[in-house]
Amino acid sequence: MTPAATPAYRRLSVEERRSQLLDAALSLFAHRAPEEVSLDDVAEAAGVSRPLVYRYFPGGKLQLYEAALRSAAEELRQCFDEPREGSPLDRLSRALDRYLAFVDGHDTGFSALLQGGSVVETSRTTAIVDGVRRSAAEHIYRHLDIDDPGPRLRMTVRMWITAVEAASLIWLDEEKQPPAEELRRWLVDQFVAVLTVTARRDAQTEGLLGALAEDGRD
Amino acid sequence: MTPAATPAYRRLSVEERRSQLLDAALSLFAHRAPEEVSLDDVAEAAGVSRPLVYRYFPGGKLQLYEAALRSAAEELRQCFDEPREGSPLDRLSRALDRYLAFVDGHDTGFSALLQGGSVVETSRTTAIVDGVRRSAAEHIYRHLDIDDPGPRLRMTVRMWITAVEAASLIWLDEEKQPPAEELRRWLVDQFVAVLTVTARRDAQTEGLLGALAEDGRD
């Protein structure tokens, strides 16, 4: 996300203006905790007046934060949107590459978003983040051709998604070490490993693993 | 968490009274957003007068919430406190049994606590929950005789702890299925599986895994 470069004097449509303000807000949230970003900061970053920011987000900071979160959530969802080409593990790898690029590009903002503990966190913002998790899980089932994941497979996939989130936060804390590509391979290997553990006690996962084993791994 | 059943007329010590109020508060926070719980509600649930609640928690609702959270965190820490008897995986199993019993006993309150999304969630309450996670990781390193865990081992352990948390929340959502003992075995197997994946790229973890393999598993 780059700060909006559109000159303020150009007449923007309502949608363009809104998206310009969201971009400015996200770029600020990317490097500071949301409660440390004021509407003044957003106005300054977008090169517009404070009243204009208020006109678009009359609910103030919380409304802007939620809108920015929704927009980030939408971007994240697009990361998971992977064509059905190559093996499922290749697709998972490509989706993870995009996800890690998103984490890399939004660093502090991403941490603030997921770690909670922000004074503006509400049940609504939590629901937005949970929606992204659900969407990630649904993409995984779709690519694995699973229509009706059983409880053990669902628990495994959701645990792995949570572990990936934790890994992303730790990765940002550890100055992005190991390199993204190594982290991605590690996460894919963990995915296979936890499925293997579940396969020992769940026939659906066992069948799935058989199909994955026929994959050509990179 | 059961609402405090102690009749109000029995004379309690300061510590008993405090803990009775904390129990009542936790059972309310478990079913409603903390900001929707009034001190009146806590007084009613505990069968005591409102002034008495204020005498113990003069800072009001947030103070009570934080105290309840600290008390739950302290109980959780005690779950991890395991003597150095038997193999490390046996010890992990026993600690997980106690942890799952805690989750079982506190169900909705545990979810509310970990899932966040409450408006009273602050960086302080987040720090309490993070402290429990850190404590769990330290117990693991101690039992594995690791003084100085490297970044890959640390990331693996923290990912597993997060995955265990996620599993606990899902387990509560899924009417505590599979049975606690099966879940515990599954989580221990996952622990070994993710360490095995990390061992392929980390000498410290590889050495550790060699030591674990010599364990007699139950």
Looking at the predicted structure, is the pLDDT value of residue A80 above 70?
yes
Rounded distance, CA A117 to CA B158, Å? Answer: 19
Contact B163 A167 (CB under 8 A): no
User: CB of B188 within 8 Å of any CB in chain A?
Assistant: no
User: CB of B189 within 8 Å of any CB in chain A?
Assistant: yes
What average pLDDT does the structure give for chain A? Answer: 85
Q: Which residue among B121, B197, B198 sits closest to A121, beta carbon to beta carbon?
A: B121
B46 in a structural domain: yes
Residues 62-121, chain A, touching B (beta carbon < 8 A): 115-119, 121
Contact A151 B177 (CB under 8 A): yes
Looking at the predicted structure, is the pLDDT value of residue B61 above 90?
no
Same domain for B53 and B78, yes or no, is: no
ipTM score above 0.95? no
Taking contacts as CB-CB distances below 8 angstroms, the residues of chain B near A155 are: 167, 170-171, 174
CATH number at residue B57: 1.10.10.60
pLDDT value at position B199? 97
Cβ-based contacts under 8 A for chains A and B? 102
A61 in a structural domain: no
**Number of domains forming the structure of chain B:** 2
Rounded distance, CA B76 to CA B141, Å? Answer: 17
Residues A91-112: tens digit of each pLDDT: 999 999 999 998 898 777 666 6
pLDDT value at position B62? 78
Asked which of A10-14, A85-89, A184-188, B170-174 is least confident by mean pLDDT, the reply is: A10-14
B9 in a structural domain: no
Question: Residue B81: left (phi > 0), alpha (psi -120 to 50), or beta?
Answer: beta
Of B44, B62, B80, the residue at which a domain comes to its end is B62
A115 in a structural domain: yes
Contact A97, A180 (CB under 8 A): yes
Enclosing domain of residue B22: 14-62
Same domain for B114 and B24, yes or no, is: no
B2 in a structural domain: no
pLDDT value at position A93? 96
Taking contacts as CB-CB distances below 8 angstroms, the residues of chain B near A167 are: 155, 159
Q: What is the arithmetic mean of pLDDT over A135-146?
A: 94
Same domain for B77 and B109, yes or no, is: yes
A154 in a structural domain: yes
Rounded distance, CA A19 to CA A178, Å? Answer: 34
CATH number at residue B166: 1.10.357.10
Q: pLDDT band at residue B109, thresholds of 50, 70 and 90?
A: low
Looking at the predicted structure, is the pLDDT value of residue A117 above 50?
no
Percent of chain B with pLDDT over 70: 83
Q: pLDDT band at residue B37, thresholds of 50, 70 and 90?
A: confident
Taking contacts as CB-CB distances below 8 angstroms, the residues of chain B near A122 are: 117, 119
Same domain for B102 and B202, yes or no, is: yes
Of B62, B79, B97, the residue at which a domain comes to its end is B62
What average pLDDT does the structure give for chain B? Answer: 85
Looking at the predicted structure, is the pLDDT value of residue B22 above 80?
yes
Q: What is the arithmetic mean of pLDDT over B11-24?
A: 87
Taking contacts as CB-CB distances below 8 angstroms, the residues of chain A near B177 are: 151
Task: Answer with the residue of higher pLDDT: B40 or A10.
Answer: B40
Same domain for B25 and B88, yes or no, is: no
Q: What angle do CA A64, A69, A72 make, to 5 degrees?
A: 125
Quote the minimal CA–CA distance from A22 to chain B in Å.
Answer: 22
pTM of the predicted model, to two decimals? 0.84
**Among the listed residues B26, B19, B62, B30, the one whose alpha carbon sits nearest the alpha carbon of residue B42:** B26
Contact B152, B202 (CB under 8 A): yes
Same domain for B35 and B109, yes or no, is: no
User: CB of A198 within 8 Å of any CB in chain B?
Assistant: yes
Contact A194 B194 (CB under 8 A): yes
A114 in a structural domain: yes
**Among the listed residues B185, B65, B197, the one whose alpha carbon sits nearest the alpha carbon of residue B129:** B65
Residues A161-195: tens digit of each pLDDT: 999 999 998 998 899 999 999 999 999 999 999 99
Same domain for B143 and B206, yes or no, is: yes
Looking at the predicted structure, is the pLDDT value of residue B176 above 60?
yes
Q: What is the arithmetic mean of pLDDT over B12-19?
A: 88
Strand, coil or helix: A11:
coil
- Which of B31, B130, B186 to substitute to test the interface with A, most A CBs within 10 Å? B186
A74 in a structural domain: yes
How many angstroms separate the Cα of B50 from the Cα of each of B20, B27, B41, B63? 14, 17, 9, 15
